[in-house]
Structure 1
Amino acid sequence: MTMERLTASSTLPADVRQPAYVPSEHGCGIVHLGLGAFHKAHQAVYTDDALAAAGGDWRTIGASLRSPKAAEELNPQNGLFTLIERGVDNTSARVIGSIAKVIAAKGNSEQLLETLSDPRIRIASLTVTEKAYGIERMSGGIDTSHPAVAADILSPDSPVGVLGILVAALKRRCDAETKPFTVLCCDNLPNNGAFVRAGVLEFARRIDPALADWIEAQVSFPSTMVDRITPAATQATLSEARDLTGCSDLAAVETEPFSQWVIEDDFPTGRPAWDAGGALFVKNVAQYENMKLRMLNGTHSMLAYAGFLSGRDYVCDVMADPDLAKLVKRHIIAASHTLDPVPGVDLNTYAESLLQRFSNPNIRHETYQIAMDGTEKLPQRIFEPAITAMERGQSIAPFAFATAVWMRYCLGRTDNNATFELRDPRQDQIEKSVGTIKSPDEIATRLSGLDGFMPKELILDQSWNSAVSSKLALMLDKGMLAALHNEAK
Structure 2
Amino acid sequence: MSLVVPAHKRARTRPAPPVRIVHMGLGAFSRSHTAWYTAHAADAHEWGIAAYTGRSAYLAEALTAQDGLYTLIERSAGGDQAEVIESIVRAHPGDDLDSLFADIAAVTTSIVTLTITEAGYRSGADGAPDLTDPLVVADIAALRTLARGSDPGTLRLQTALGRLVWGLELRRRSHGTPLAVVSCDNLPDNGRHVGRSVVSLARSVLPETAMWCEQNISFVSSSVDRITPRISSQEQVALAARYGDGVPVLTEPFHDWVLAGDFPEGRPAWESSGARFTNELEPWEARKLWLLNGAHTLLACLGLLRGHVDVARAMADPVCRQAVEEFWSEAQRHLPEDLDLHGYRAALIERFTNPGIVHRLSQIVLDTPTKLRLRIAPVAERERRAGRSARGCATVLAAWMVASESGLAPASVSGIEAPTKDNSVAGALTAVSAELAEDFAFVTLIEQSVQQVKSLVSW
- TM-score scaled by length of structure 2: 0.91
Q: Which residue in the other structure is 1:480 paired with?
A: 457
Q: Which residue in the other structure is 1:212 paired with?
A: 210
Contact 2:312 2:354 in 1 (8 A): yes
Partner secondary structure for residue 119 of structure 1:
coil
Q: Which residue in the other structure is 2:136 paired with?
A: 149
- The unaligned stretches of length 5 or more in structure 2 are 147-151
Residues 343-383 of structure 1: CA deviation (Å, up to 9, x unaligned): xx211111111111111111100112111111111122111
> How far, CA to CA, are the matches of 2:7 and 2:314 in structure 1?
39
Q: AA paired with 1:447?
A: A
Q: AA paired with 1:335?
A: A
Q: Which residue in the other structure is 2:257 paired with?
A: 261
Find 2:426's aligned residue among 445, 464, 474. Answer: 445
Q: Which residue in the other structure is 1:43 paired with?
A: 34
Find 2:17's aligned residue among 14, 20, 26. Answer: 26
Residues 59-87 of structure 1: CA deviation (Å, up to 9, x unaligned): 11111242312212211000111111111
Distance 1:147 1:461, change over 3 A: closer
Q: Which residue in the other structure is 2:331 paired with?
A: 335
Q: Which residue in the other structure is 1:417 paired with?
A: none
After the TM superposition, which parts of structure 1 deviate over 6 Å for at least 4 consecutive aligned residues? none
Contact 1:205 1:211 in 2 (8 A): yes
Contact 1:310 1:480 in 2 (8 A): yes
Q: Does 1:76 align with 2:65?
A: yes
Contact 1:85 1:256 in 2 (8 A): yes
Distance 1:387 1:86, change over 3 A: same
Q: Which residue in the other structure is 2:10 paired with?
A: 10
Q: Does 1:124 align with 2:135?
A: no
Residues 290-349 of structure 1: CA deviation (Å, up to 9, x unaligned): 11111111111111100011101111101222222222222222211222345xx21111
Residues 77-119 of structure 1: CA deviation (Å, up to 9, x unaligned): 001111111112221111111111211132x511211121111
Count matched residues.
444
Find 2:413's aligned residue among 426, 430, 433. Answer: 426
> How far, CA to CA, are the matches of 1:311 and 1:185 in structure 2?
34
Distance 1:299 1:8, change over 3 A: closer
> What value does the CA root-mean-square deviation take over the aligned residues?
2.1
Residue 481 of structure 1 and its aligned partner are, at CA, apart by 4.5
Q: Which residue in the other structure is 2:201 paired with?
A: 203
Q: Does 1:455 align with 2:444?
A: no
Contact 1:88 1:362 in 2 (8 A): yes
Q: Which residue in the other structure is 1:87 paired with?
A: 76
Find 2:97's aligned residue among 81, 102, 109. Answer: 109
Q: Does 1:387 align with 2:381?
A: yes
Q: Which residue in the other structure is 1:487 paired with?
A: none
> How far, CA to CA, are the matches of 2:268 and 2:442 in structure 1?
46
Q: Which residue in the other structure is 2:149 paired with?
A: none
- TM-score scaled by length of structure 1: 0.86
Residues 252-288 of structure 1: CA deviation (Å, up to 9, x unaligned): 1111111110011410100001111100011121111
Residue 34 of structure 1 and its aligned partner are, at CA, apart by 0.6
Q: AA paired with 2:48?
A: R
> How far, CA to CA, are the matches of 2:410 and 2:50 in structure 1?
29
Partner secondary structure for residue 218 of structure 2:
coil
> How far, CA to CA, are the matches of 2:84 and 2:239 in structure 1?
10
Report percent identity of matched pairs.
32
Find 2:165's aligned residue among 164, 167, 170. Answer: 167
Distance 1:382 1:232, change over 3 A: same
Partner secondary structure for residue 405 of structure 2:
coil
Q: Does 1:319 align with 2:315?
A: yes
